[in-house]
Structure formats: structure tokens, C-alpha cells
Amino acid sequence: MIRWHTLFWLLCCCVTQVWANDTVKNSGLILDKNNIKIWKYKVPQSALYGFKATTVVKSSLSGLVALITDTENPSRWLYRTSRIDVLMRDDVQQSFTIRVITDFPWPFTDREAVVDVKISQDAKGIVRIDSNESAFAAKYPVSDCCLRMPMVKGFWLFKPIANGMIEVTMSGHADPGGRIPVGAVNFLIQEHPYNTLMGLQNVIGDERYQKVANSHIKEPL
């Protein structure tokens, strides 16, 4: 059974739709290490950068979706994510609403984001998981531990390549809110996706994910 989790990013669960076609201008490669590449890009009318990060792993598509939707174990691989609560889920529509708690380093207050997530697959077999701050976030009280992030946009893409290999892309842009220096937030553009994709590489081979069969996901032939 799939256990719902998120993506996220949460300073990693965020993005703008323009990356869907890889057409962002003023982007630049900032890291190429351990089979992980990260680009940053300028976001119009914002001092905060967005990011795109990629890696390649051996996995089924259902296995990757199972990892992203495993709410019980986010701290195993999703960088600085301490908890994910499922607030609403619709298995038929493959959509859900989650609360993501992000562990911010001292002296900053931890952050939470209430995010709507949608899973889809196109005619080419590419799986996309979109996340945005929920339109209904106001109905959920803010946790005592945290400040709520005012803006979160993000997606994952899982693109079959060949021989059981999948190109994994994560991309995002977020505003953590509060009094955090812009430079500190922009530093996470490299730190957060790199450590998250390293975590994904380390756990995606687990049987708990690779034995999952998702009836909504069509595997490559």
C-alpha cells in the first residue's frame, strides 16, 4: 500500500512551471558532483533564486512515486524534513494535501508549508508530481513549532531513459517568510537539493519501494 508523503520540498519542494520545458533564462550550473547536477535561476520580481536539480537512478516509476508518497520516513532522505502530515487525500484523482515541517538551523524558527500535490503521467510515460501552497491553507491552524511559509512551488519529474534507468528532476522556488537573510536562503539552493538527491540515491533501491505496484502508473516497456 502506498503511504502518502511529499515531495518538497520545503525549500525543496518548490518550483515554477517554466522548467517543464527547460527554457528558463539566466540559469547557470552551480554543481556537478556524484551524478547530481544543480542549476539556479533568477525569479522575476524576487531576490530569491529558484533551482533545478537532476540525477539518474535505477528504479521503477512506481518505486519513485512510492518513495515520494511515503509519509512515515521522510527524514531518511528528504533533507531537513522532520515531519509530514497528510491532511487530505484522493486516491482516485492521485491528489493530496500535506503539511510539511522543515527543520531550520538555529537561531531560525522551523517552517511549515501546507501544500496541494498532484501526481500525473503523460503520453510519453513521464511522471510529474506538482506541488503548490494550498488554496485552503488558511483552514489549517499553524503548528506551534513553526512559521508558515507564504509561498511554495515545486515539482518532480521521473523520465524513463533505458535499461531500467530513470532521470529524476526536482525543481523549486519558495519564500520561507520571516527575517531570514536572502543570502542564507539562496545558499540552500545548492545544499538542499544536493543532499535530498543523495538521500534518494541511497534509499530508492529498498524493496519497500521497488516491490510497490501502482495501478495509476504505467511502467516503460
pTM of the model: 0.84
Q: What are phi and psi of 19, to 5 degrees?
A: -70, -10
Cell reading at 97? 494535501
Interatomic CA distance for residues 71 and 69, integer angstroms? 6
1: in domain = no
pLDDT, block means (10 residues), the chain with 221 residues: 34 36 60 95 79 96 95 88 91 91 85 94 97 90 90 92 96 80 70 93 97 96 84
131: in domain = yes
132: in domain = yes
94: in domain = yes
Domain of 22? 17-210
12: in domain = no
pLDDT in tens, 21-30: 343 455 689 8
202: in domain = yes
Query: Domain total for the chain?
Result: 1
2: in domain = no
194: in domain = yes
CATH of the domain at 79: 3.30.530.20
Output the CA–CA distances (angstroms, integers) from residue 1 to 27, 83, 91, in the order listed.
39, 20, 11
C-beta separation of 54 from 36 below 8 A: yes
Q: What is the pLDDT of residue 75?
A: 87
Give the closest residue to 4 by CA, choosing from 61, 66, 92.
66
